Amino acid sequence: MFKFAKGALGTILFGWPLNARLWITRRCNYQCRMCSIFRNEKQKEMTLDELKTVAFNLKKLRLSQVILTGGEPFLRPDIIDIIKIFKPYGFIIRIQTNAAEHVTEDLLDRAYKAGLDDISVSLDTLDPLKQDAICAGKGVLKNAKRVLDYCSKHYADRGVIAANVVISRQNFFELPQIIEFCKEKGIFFDPCIFTRKFSQAPQEDEQRKNVDLSLSGLDSDKVKEIFGKIDFMVKNNYPVLTTARTLKSLYDFMLGSGYKWKCKAGLISFDVAPSGRLAACCDTIFSADQEPVADLSSKDFISQYRSREFQEKCLRQRQDCEGCLYGCYRDPVYLAGDLRTQWESLYKSIVFKKVFN
């Protein structure tokens, strides 16, 4: 609760960033239909010494939460050392994983012992064959359940354990069942909403061949029915991690509204490329190495980040963006400026006895 209050109040009162997603690798052992990160897996990765500077610089920004992501972060053989680097600074540490076979019980034990607080496991459907098709893998759902079960059994008191569900046409009508599954397992439903236009459309269109992910054009009456069920679940304290306002934005989008909004990517939250350079969000990660840069692995990061040139770069990107429905960007902004979201997050923290950022 103290970490929640400290982080939220710092963001609300002073505009401090709430969280950062560190892409510590682009390597991945899946080829998910909604992602193309594995196509650039040879990109330079930060060393442990560089990550020590990253941690120091993030603390200077008074950041609350560090999210270790990728790629598949557990593919880094030094992942335990990476967690140990960030822990002494008091960050809430979350890791996002695909939970494939390489994520063993021993590796999870060592990660939690090193200081891991939260874990999000990719799980998009309760249909094993569909999950394998989405991820272009085998036994994907079985492994995801294995890791979720183990963490829930042994580390439920440590922090948030969540199923990270990419909402798409492939699973939209299954969402109430997935939320019910999460409740039964004692874990959280953490949705990622598939609405963006990709920066590498030709590649990814081919990659998504025969797997339609678009949420546009679904039957409006059926959409309303699904959201009615989700709304009931939220009001009855089902473990839904994202905010009611983000869910309402998805509902409006699916009934014909756009998704342009007053984004603060690069300010309230941001992404960090494997090179250590900051990007406003995941859709602008390609620009992280383009001048002007803000390099978190550099001792000059603070002056680079606060420079007029870099802030104008982020502003232009926000202005040019058509919008998105990503909760990882919307939720921190709503937390910073929306009273209802602030009360909602505080209420969830009390009810579930977890820290919600």
CATH number reported for the structural domain that contains residue 290 in this entry:
3.20.20.70
Mean pLDDT is highest, among 44-48, 175-179, 211-215, for 175-179
CA distance 46 to 144: 27
Q: What is the mean pLDDT of residues 85-105?
A: 97
In a domain, 302, yes or no: yes
Residues 6+ apart with CB under 8 A from 117: 92, 93, 94, 158, 159, 160, 355
In a domain, 7, yes or no: yes
In a domain, 82, yes or no: yes
- The one-character DSSP state at 295 is B
Query: Looking at per-residue confidence, does 67 or 4 come out higher?
Result: 67
Q: Total domain count for the chain?
A: 1
Q: What is the mean pLDDT of residues 28-38?
A: 85
Share of the chain above pLDDT 90, in %: 71
In a domain, 87, yes or no: yes
The answer, yes or no, to whether residue 13 has pLDDT greater than 90, is no
The answer, yes or no, to whether residue 195 has pLDDT greater than 80, is no
Q: How far is CA 292 from CA 43, 60, 159, 346, in A?
A: 19, 20, 37, 38
In a domain, 271, yes or no: yes
The answer, yes or no, to whether residue 2 has pLDDT greater than 50, is no
The answer, yes or no, to whether residue 191 has pLDDT greater than 80, is yes
pLDDT at 41: 62
Q: Is the distance from CB of 257 to CB of 321 less than 8 angstroms?
A: no
Q: What is the overall mean pLDDT for the chain?
A: 90
For 305-340, write each residue's pLDDT tens digit: 999 999 999 999 999 988 888 998 999 999 888 999
pLDDT at 208: 45
Q: Is the distance from CB of 234 to CB of 180 less than 8 angstroms?
A: no
Structure tokens at 113: 């012992």
Any idea which residue has 């960090």 for tokens?
272
In a domain, 102, yes or no: yes
CA distance 270 to 323: 15
Domain range enclosing 112: 2-352
CA distance 6 to 141: 36
Backbone angles phi, psi at 319, to 5 degrees: -70, -35
The answer, yes or no, to whether residue 297 has pLDDT greater than 60, is yes
In a domain, 59, yes or no: yes
Q: Which helix (H) or strand (E) holds 191?
A: strand 188-193
In a domain, 357, yes or no: no
This prediction's pTM: 0.93
Backbone angles phi, psi at 34, to 5 degrees: -95, 10
The answer, yes or no, to whether residue 210 has pLDDT greater than 80, is no
pLDDT at 215: 85
CA distance 248 to 257: 11
Confidence grade of residue 204 (pLDDT, cut at 50, 70, 90): very low
